[in-house]
């Protein structure tokens, strides 16, 4: 029997204390290979502390963390070659050209000079900065500098990207472009952990998320599963041809339906559980001669879930 695949990131009881301040308290977190993982929390919740521990810049006060099975403390050098860490604020050498900057970091990672030119060209193409290769960094916009920062952490082809607020301060177009780049990196097989305050973008970008408050994990799992944090019931919307009222008694008599109410020419149907098969709703309508025009699940945004499960407390 083969062993299960190693998680990209595994933390067990991860704790970090600064004097009387507990920045992280017993964090148990798993990020699977290939995840685009959203890390959500208010300022001071412990997100940056977690990322800095995974990046080997901080040593945990207790507990452990591993990256692809390698302990971030005992095997820090190995971990550093497997990760790319992009902090929320990073310095750039504004008097250097874009290619000079990336070549310098390529040399730091001991990429042979014979390979560096192609490597630099490849990462510039990936982040959409090929036409800026000879430009001074100081002349780049904020969005382009963020993309250059991403190119820098990609220069050694890391397996795991740790991105702390990569879209911070960007205008809407630059944010959209950054998110598209991250999706392409996931398609290439990279595992990505991204912390962000822009929850609507994380909802469409990430396949799994974690919510953290005051150093403690509140939720970790699929994006679709966060709705269950608010309610045990599942809500759907239906619309039939003609008058809606005749469909109400049919739906109320359908097994596992707890309520069916008319709202703005649509029918709001509540099922007793998220595990209940929702196909019973359209089946009941069609079997009783109704023409089904719309049927979809009521989506609860990450913003609403976040406000519901957190208290707004900071360290």
Please state which of the ranges 99-113, 139-153, 202-216 shows the lowest mean pLDDT.
202-216
Vertex 179 angle, CA 174 and 185, to 5°: 130
Domain of 202, in residue numbers: 9-227
Q: pTM for the full model?
A: 0.77
> 189 and 41, same structural domain?
yes
Residue 314 located in a structural domain: no
Residue 147 located in a structural domain: yes
How does residue 229 score in pLDDT terms, banded at 50, 70 and 90? Answer: low
- pLDDT tens, position by position, 97-108: 999 999 999 999
Residue 310 located in a structural domain: no
Residue 99 located in a structural domain: yes
> 205 and 93, same structural domain?
yes
**pLDDT at residue 17 tops 90:** yes
> 223 and 102, same structural domain?
yes
Residue 169 located in a structural domain: yes
Asked if residues 28 and 13 have their Cβ atoms less than 8 Å apart, the reply is yes
Residue 142 located in a structural domain: yes
How does residue 251 score in pLDDT terms, banded at 50, 70 and 90? Answer: very high
- pLDDT tens, position by position, 111-122: 998 899 999 999
Residue 63 backbone phi and psi in degrees, to 5: 80, -170
User: Residue holding tokens 């398609």?
Assistant: 187
> 273 and 126, same structural domain?
no
Last residue of a domain, one of 181, 197, 227: 227
Higher pLDDT pick, 220 / 201: 220
> 154 and 285, same structural domain?
no
Provide the pairing of β-strand 70-71 with 62-67.
antiparallel
Please state which of the ranges 70-74, 91-95, 186-190 shows the lowest mean pLDDT.
91-95
> 171 and 114, same structural domain?
yes
Last residue of a domain, one of 188, 210, 227: 227
> 179 and 50, same structural domain?
yes
Tell me the mean pLDDT in the region 93-99. 90
What is the C-alpha radius of gyration for the chain, rounded to an integer number of angstroms? Answer: 24
State the pLDDT at residue 308: 59
> 188 and 84, same structural domain?
yes
How does residue 161 score in pLDDT terms, banded at 50, 70 and 90? Answer: very high
- Domains in the chain: how many in total? 2
**pLDDT at residue 28 tops 60:** yes
Count other C-beta atoms under 10 Å from residue 94's C-beta.
Answer: 12
Residue 27 located in a structural domain: yes
> 254 and 181, same structural domain?
no
Asked if residues 314 and 43 have their Cβ atoms less than 8 Å apart, the reply is yes
Q: CB under 8 Å to 3, separation ≥6 — which residues?
A: none
Residue 238 backbone phi and psi in degrees, to 5: -135, 150
CATH number of the domain that residue 268 is part of: 3.30.70.100
Q: What is the Cα–Cα distance from 281 to 239, expressed in whole angstroms?
A: 11
Provide the greatest CA pair distance for the chain: 75
> 279 and 182, same structural domain?
no
Last residue of a domain, one of 227, 253, 284: 227
Residue 315 located in a structural domain: no
> 286 and 240, same structural domain?
yes
First vs last C-alpha separation in the chain: 46
Provide the pairing of β-strand 9-18 with 62-67.
antiparallel
């Amino acid at each position: 029997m083969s062993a299960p695949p190693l998680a990209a990131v595994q933390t067990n009881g991860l704790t970090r204390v600064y004097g009387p301040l507990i920045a992280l308290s017993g964090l148990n977190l798993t990020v699977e290979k290939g995840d685009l993982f959203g890390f959500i929390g208010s300022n001071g919740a412990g997100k940056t502390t977690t990322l800095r521990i995974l990046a080997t810049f901080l040593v945990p006060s207790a507990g452990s963390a591993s990256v692809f099975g390698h302990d971030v403390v005992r095997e820090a050098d190995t971990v550093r070659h497997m990760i790319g860490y992009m902090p929320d604020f990073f310095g750039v050498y504004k008097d250097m050209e874009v290619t000079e900057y990336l070549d310098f970091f390529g040399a730091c990672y001991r990429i042979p000079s014979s390979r560096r030119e192609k490597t630099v060209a490849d990462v510039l193409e990936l982040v959409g900065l090929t036409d800026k290769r000879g430009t001074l960094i100081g002349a780049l916009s904020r969005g382009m500098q963020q993309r250059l920062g991403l190119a820098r952490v990609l220069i050694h082809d890391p397996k795991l990207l740790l991105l702390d607020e990569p879209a911070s301060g960007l205008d809407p177009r630059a944010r959209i472009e950054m998110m598209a780049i991250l999706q392409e990196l996931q398609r290439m097989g990279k595992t990505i952990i991204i912390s962000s305050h822009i929850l609507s973008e994380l909802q469409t970008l990430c396949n799994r998320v974690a919510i953290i408050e005051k150093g403690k994990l509140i939720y970790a799992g699929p994006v679709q599963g966060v709705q269950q944090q608010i309610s045990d019931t599942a809500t759907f919307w239906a619309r039939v041809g003609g008058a809606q009222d005749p469909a109400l008694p049919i739906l109320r008599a359908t097994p596992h339906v707890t309520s069916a109410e008319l709202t703005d020419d649509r029918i709001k149907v509540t099922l007793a559980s998220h595990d209940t098969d929702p196909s019973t709703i359209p089946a009941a309508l069609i079997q009783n001669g109704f023409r089904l025009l719309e049927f979809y699940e009521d989506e609860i945004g990450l913003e609403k879930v976040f406000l519901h499960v957190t208290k707004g407390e900071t360290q």
